[in-house]
Structure 1
Amino acid sequence: MRQVFIALIFLFSMIDSASAHSWMAPESEANRKNPNPASEESIKKGQDLFTLNCRDCHGLSAKGLSKNETGLSKDTPDLPKRLKTHSDGDFHWKIIHGKGDMPSFKDEIPEREIWDIVNYINSLK
């Protein structure tokens, strides 16, 4: 019985993990490297931009908020935790393109500043 329980826990964790990571950038975009060095200036600019554009959905700490807190269709992700499985290019692509509740920022934030936001998220490790 215990083995069945452990197997079920493993299965549910795999399903949760798969759904949490089903939205990924195309490989060519995910492999893009951040052209902005992670300087204090870039991180600070990224923090300011994150606070202005991302905080309401992802929280000030970027650890995500519940759908009850945001009014969105699902909880927002813990971004520092996602750094383990998502590249800079992946974050950049998602910010540009958006999907579902996540808006596209391609017409709102210049590309260089999107990379600053990625540097800020990386600083939260």
Structure 2
Amino acid sequence: MKTKKILISITFTGFLFLLLVSFVKAPKNDYITVQQKKWVAPASADKIVNPLKGDANAATSGKKLYKVMCFVCHGPKGKGDGMAGAGLTPKPTDLTSDEFQSQSDGAIFWKIAEGRAPMASYKSSIPEKKRWEIINYIRTLK
């Protein structure tokens, strides 16, 4: 009989505990979500002219470079869904979006050259002509 009273008491106490916990708000964590500001190239970048604009061969070459340099983060179709991009904050840009595609070639060229965390700067690792080829390919992703 005494064991039965103890079990009822424990069950009732557990029920009260669960009831109380359901009304108490969970404490907020101490982490602050960091959001980067919109990435905007300087106005001077819009004046940079793509010397390969409209060159189909450049786009073909750019596709090969894209697969080596950009694919892992920006994904096979440029949607920002590459395997390496999944763990990045902010997520890689969707290169097919209207917002991205509305930028000038010069602005995109500047961003590829300068980079911004988590995207690396490719100014010294990808020659200018190859960066333009990548841009020509990216333009086909619309």
Fold agreement, TM-score > 0.5: yes
Higher normalized contact order (CA 8 Å, seq sep 6+, divided by chain length): 1
The answer on 1:97 being equivalent to 2:114 is yes
Specify the SS of the correspondent of 2:96.
Answer: helix
Q: Does 1:57 align with 2:69?
A: no
Contact 1:56 1:70 in 2 (8 A): no
Aligned mate of 1:39, from 35, 55, 66: 55
Unaligned runs of 5+ in 1: 1-18
Paired with 2:46 and 2:68, the residues of 1 have a C-alpha distance of 25
TM-score normalised by the chain length of structure 2 = 0.67
List runs of 5+ in structure 2 lacking aligned partners: 1-34
Q: What is the CA distance between 1:77 and its match in structure 2?
A: 1.4
Rate the CA distance shift 1:56–1:67 in 2: closer, same or farther, 3 A. Answer: closer
Per the TM alignment, residue 40 of structure 1 is displaced from its structure 2 partner at its CA by 2.0
2:135 is matched with 118
Identity across aligned pairs (percent)? 36
- Deviations 1:41-96, CA, capped at 9 Å, x for gaps: 10011111111000000001011127985321222111121102x11111100000
**What is the CA–CA distance in structure 2 between the aligned matches of 1:42 and 1:120, rounded to whole Å?**
8
Number of residue pairs matched by the alignment: 106
How many Å apart are 1:37 and its aligned residue? 3.1
Verify the 8 A CA contact 1:46 1:117 in the aligned structure 2.
yes
CA distance in 1, matches of 2:76, 2:82: 13
CA RMSD of superposed structures (Å)? 2.2
2:105 maps to what in 1? Answer: 88
CA distance in structure 2 between the aligned counterparts of 1:38 and 1:21, rounded to whole angstroms: 32
Name the TM-score, length of structure 1 as normaliser: 0.76
Matched residue, 1:77: 93
